[in-house]
Structure 1
């Protein structure tokens, strides 16, 4: 048995089913070992970075491990972006990289790179194998760290060692996976209960760390009459229909979610490292509960930090806190959120009186027809806005993306990883046209493996979110930089061997989405959406209003001077706004 076969057997023991990568030189012994068995499948992606995104999706969804691989220097470097995404989302991923033969390391050999230095920031541990004798121990250590710490680890396997006879089989063992929880002192929980009992208006900011404690958080919030503002990553934990939920805050949130944080007397932060400090209160009492002590006080000054498991701590607080009778704060914001939802649903209703294809209507239409256990991969940018504001992640639905790393191009490759992990569930990806251009080569990968993923491409021929960023900074958009030169995405899908649909008119949205839903082949929905659809923050301060106004003045002046693109942008925004308002007021 070779070292490659030994490592593969260890992966089999923890039920790894897929390794995403591109074969080549130093990696070839491992690839050949994979070809000699049928439990672990080699998924040949078109670009290693996409393989890392696919591995992220599997680690995020199964909570155990995703695996990607590459050969030496150039191939290994391609993995970096997808691995950073896994790191920032706290998804367990193992990267296996080749290396030049040991005797050439440090000589500037062909394709050699100092991978230890390169991967030092993204990896919590790197198992750099320099002999068959150490391979077993360091490889198992890498797996333990990746799985238990929900992080990224790397195994470096030189080409010559990969083919050597395996040693030290007596170190083989089951991979230890901890089932322990962090329990804080009872006195600390008593302090928290005292603070909660003293205040009337309480808001909860709930993050992805609440996933295992959803029921406890909902019961707790009901008992103390607290609102629940959620983060983007926890949109599929605290869906729009859950009691006490008031939605998102931040740049893509709504006023009820914002007020739930900013207008309360006591804010309880649960399992979140919400990064936007300008959307956190400065003078409000704050309790922060997190499994990671380094996150406590990271974004705002806290009055009480609790290092502990969210589910356990909330369960204890549920027993210790007094039930509150005054629900006026919660009721007011829940009513505000429900009115916001109702207005959004009417404006975005694809069955209404729209004259333009609005991205929000495509998102709502998909939400209405997708299965109750569908997986949604949401790309960065305006795709995140349309999904979180116009979709409902009810029941067993999951939503994943690049919400902390903020990388474009996660949608298509992560959808591939998700569909391979869960072949019997619907997988939808919401992708901007700019992002789609980065990874469209992987659509043929989905075709090759027969994956019925559904890719919605918001085709407005521009980098929409970058335009918003320019306007919020007080700049007139530079359309030379923003323009995306598109082709017929639906025809491309058919050329690649899948199915393609184009949405040109609002009355086509529901029918085409239903056709995509029933497709057994990979499908691209080329949604030609209006470029003028706006999304504004829940609260606009003086600086934001000034910058946005300045941008519009600059756009108007440039259009007067003959810049047709600025004039088209202004017209598109006006037409899109009027179209949605008319749809929202339909009888």
Structure 2
């Protein structure tokens, strides 16, 4: 029996190891979904919202390195995919979006649900395989997959409703799609120049990003030779964790003082595999060497004294033998002492003896760190939940951390946890989410129940968009409490209503038991953590502009209290209670 184009598309996806397709079906996808239904090797994961489908595909791909696939039908369904696709693009994750399209005979007539998807997806997709005939289908489908895998990027396959059911053609063009292992090796002169700069510098700081994932030991070897502290990006938290020798933490908005000072107060900064975006937390008068596999990143955020176009592994293989062992450890020792002091302070902040209510969110993160499996995968939302994770969870070498670290989207946590759990059924998957972000994606908790996925979701429930509040105050605005307010359900009750399980925690004595209950649950589980909205988390360094902004915001908030604004008074009381407890 001859195959149709939809079945041919599925054959090609299956050949590159695709096991799940996340989406919401509809008319233009029906033949494709029917093809999946008749296979045992590929599963259609029916999501409640296409935006969550693209985040779920991201979660699967990000934790496996394999191609992720999501799908949405014609205009409205396809458009919902875009946010998660942008996240995959910015996180450099290989993803294919399959979008249905209206019948070709109706295109260009402003037909029902018609959207010019080529225009819409031009920015997010590196390549778009728009199938016009069955004859061209296998060639452009394979091209889209090859580009997505080769460049760790997003591509789209458009399947018009009438083409989806046509007889497949040109089977002879279908061939095994391979991924090729190769290295980008710098020239000897550039490596020697880098070595000379490093050997003559007195104090060196290393800023390491996700590009170091395959080169952890080589970076540590270099750090020890140079007595150079390692500051890492948030995405690299699971490469250079809190317990690793010579690591001094994070810089940036959610960083710590030792990480900030290692970058800002060295004589020479070595940037390895990072396009760290926050220019206010980078030095601009310091000698800088930047090494990156993407040439366009070099000098993108700060001027560099030497740029090296190379993967980190190849560069360090050539560099490390040329580096002389330095004797002076004073710069490193000072920063390590500061970092250890900061870690001790974080431990105190996460102590369950801090029983003030609403509870401190740090306590929950501290217990998760203690009880979660050594090889757990963590999905972290954008906002204050990322702060508590970065400050209180040690992402050792076996643990994995994913999120929307470059795109900065809310609502990544739950759906990416679904994708990660389907890809790793044997592992614990923890999602750390704010209440605002969970409210955006909560309909797909039902999906986790449907597919019996034991994801563990910790919701920091403070009835507020706390990170947005911090951003407001940073620029001198009094917090707009009505706009920031989140009206929440009892999330534990919601979990049970959906067929999962959950517990609401309002007292410190109950936190440990709740974390253990979630860990042991075979159902999707929500911990509704009722926490204070007054918890402050400030950057590791506050410049004059930020100081003026925060000061101005507080003056305005106090002025509102004086004029009788009771909600602003409650806001200030919560901040004072959190600070002094």
Q: TM-score, normalised by structure 1?
A: 0.98
The answer to whether the 8 Å contact 1:349/1:365 transfers is: no
Deviation (angstroms), 1:315? 2.1
Cα deviations by residue, 1:65-103 (Å, 9 ceiling, x for unpaired): 110001100000000000000001111110000111122
> Secondary structure at the residue paired with 1:174?
coil
C-alpha separation in 2, matches of 1:61 and 1:523? 21
Residue in structure 1 matching 2:41, options 33, 36, 39: 39
C-alpha separation in 1, matches of 2:253 and 2:355? 26
Cα deviations by residue, 1:233-269 (Å, 9 ceiling, x for unpaired): 1011100001110101111111100000000000000
Tell me the residue number matched to 2:504: 502
The answer to whether the 8 Å contact 1:245/1:334 transfers is: yes
Matched, 1:162 2:182: no
Q: Which moved more, 1:258-267 or 1:107-116?
A: 107-116
The answer to whether the 8 Å contact 1:182/1:308 transfers is: yes
Q: How does 1:276-295 map to 2 (within 5 A)?
A: 276-295=278-297
C-alpha separation in 2, matches of 1:170 and 1:114? 31
C-alpha separation in 2, matches of 1:24 and 1:353? 52
> Secondary structure at the residue paired with 2:235?
coil
Tell me the residue number matched to 2:519: 517
Tell me the residue number matched to 1:585: none
Q: How does 1:302-341 map to 2 (within 5 A)?
A: 302-341=304-343
C-alpha separation in 1, matches of 2:245 and 2:140? 47
Residue in structure 2 matching 1:343, options 334, 342, 345: 345
Q: TM-score, normalised by structure 2?
A: 0.99
C-alpha separation in 1, matches of 2:47 and 2:445? 10
Cα deviations by residue, 1:433-478 (Å, 9 ceiling, x for unpaired): 1111111100000000000001111110111111111111111111
Tell me the residue number matched to 1:221: 223
Deviation (angstroms), 1:168? 0.7
Tell me the residue number matched to 2:465: 463
Q: How does 1:549-560 map to 2 (within 5 A)?
A: 549-560=551-562
Q: How does 1:171-570 map to 2 (within 5 A)?
A: 171-350=173-352, 352-356=353-357, 357-570=359-572
C-alpha separation in 2, matches of 1:562 and 1:539? 34
Deviation (angstroms), 1:353? 3.9
**Structure 1 residue ranges without an equivalent (≥5):** 580-587
C-alpha separation in 2, matches of 1:366 and 1:349? 13
Structure 1 ranges of 4+ moved more than 3 A: none
Residue in structure 2 matching 1:83, options 85, 99, 104: 85
C-alpha separation in 1, matches of 2:354 and 2:87? 40
Cα deviations by residue, 1:87-143 (Å, 9 ceiling, x for unpaired): 011111100001111222222111111100000000000011101111101011111
Q: CA RMSD in A?
A: 0.8
C-alpha separation in 2, matches of 1:186 and 1:174? 36
Aligned residue pairs, count: 578
The answer to whether the 8 Å contact 2:239/2:397 transfers is: no
Tell me the residue number matched to 1:127: 129
The answer to whether the 8 Å contact 2:249/2:339 transfers is: yes
C-alpha separation in 2, matches of 1:207 and 1:454? 27
> Secondary structure at the residue paired with 1:462?
coil
Tell me the residue number matched to 2:15: 13
Deviation (angstroms), 1:162? 0.9
Deviation (angstroms), 1:496? 0.3
> Secondary structure at the residue paired with 1:507?
helix
The answer to whether the 8 Å contact 2:354/2:360 transfers is: no
C-alpha separation in 1, matches of 2:140 and 2:157? 8
The answer to whether the 8 Å contact 1:429/1:456 transfers is: yes
C-alpha separation in 2, matches of 1:541 and 1:405? 25
Deviation (angstroms), 1:523? 0.4
C-alpha separation in 2, matches of 1:170 and 1:223? 55
C-alpha separation in 1, matches of 2:351 and 2:224? 31
